[in-house]
Amino acid sequence: MEEQSKGANHAGVLFDVDGTLVDSTYFHTIAWWQALRQQELEVPMALIHRHIGMGGDKLLERLLPVKSDEGVRDTVKNAHGAIFSTFWPAIRPFESARTLLRTCAESGLAVALASSAHERDLQVLRSVLDAEPWIDCVTSSADAAESKPSPDILVAALEKLQLDAADVVFVGDSVWDVQAAARLGIETIGVTCGGISAAELFESGAGEVYSGPRALLQRLDASSIGKLAHRHGAQPNPSI
């Protein structure tokens, strides 16, 4: 069922989910690695990890041999999904992720999960977060014609919130997140909990970088999110 914004907020925060709010990046890495090995394709895990955050189609364009046919790509993508699902019981939210969403919402900002995950994975991630009362809208892969670093999923989130790019901040963990937001002129906060370094996130265009949701929450009032809230008359609470 398509979700729409619950309120009439004048500003908001868009959150990537995998690797940003939920500790799942390395499960995706292992799932892609195993899916590729099933096709006798040897790709180092480190290389796979550096492409996590891209859509699966673009990730495979980078990792598969140039002459790979569509059948192989489809087989690998399906295998990744099946393998990743075996990790669902082990997925956990990062410390303070739920509190971060609640604090943003209670400060008067709209909250969007700007995820490009498939719907069945997204339902698991939402259950893990357990933060539904503070989420105004959610996107999935079905909302984007092109995957990151294309900004389609962020455009979808903006449309659901009925906000402009200048009225939101995006929080993400990958260079692909930052690049997607930059194409729309959205201010971006990077987090390193997905395994990408602060230097790489800054180089890609992130305005601020924190180690994860807890560190961002501790500095929320001074962050771009806090400044956005103040511009719109809200008062974010930086307490944990």
**8 A C-beta contact, residue 84 and residue 121:** yes
- Calpha distance 240→236 (Å, rounded): 12
Mean pLDDT of the chain: 92
Residues facing 139 on adjacent strands = 114
**8 A C-beta contact, residue 148 and residue 117:** no
Q: 1 pLDDT exceeds 90?
A: no
What is the reported pLDDT for 197? Answer: 98
CA dihedral 27, 188, 116, 103 (to 10 degrees): 80
Please compute, for residue 184, the number of CA atoms within 13 A of its CA located in the half-sphere on the CB side.
Answer: 28
Q: What is the pTM of this model?
A: 0.92
- Calpha distance 50→194 (Å, rounded): 10
What is the reported pLDDT for 122? Answer: 96
| Residue with token string 């294309």 | 150
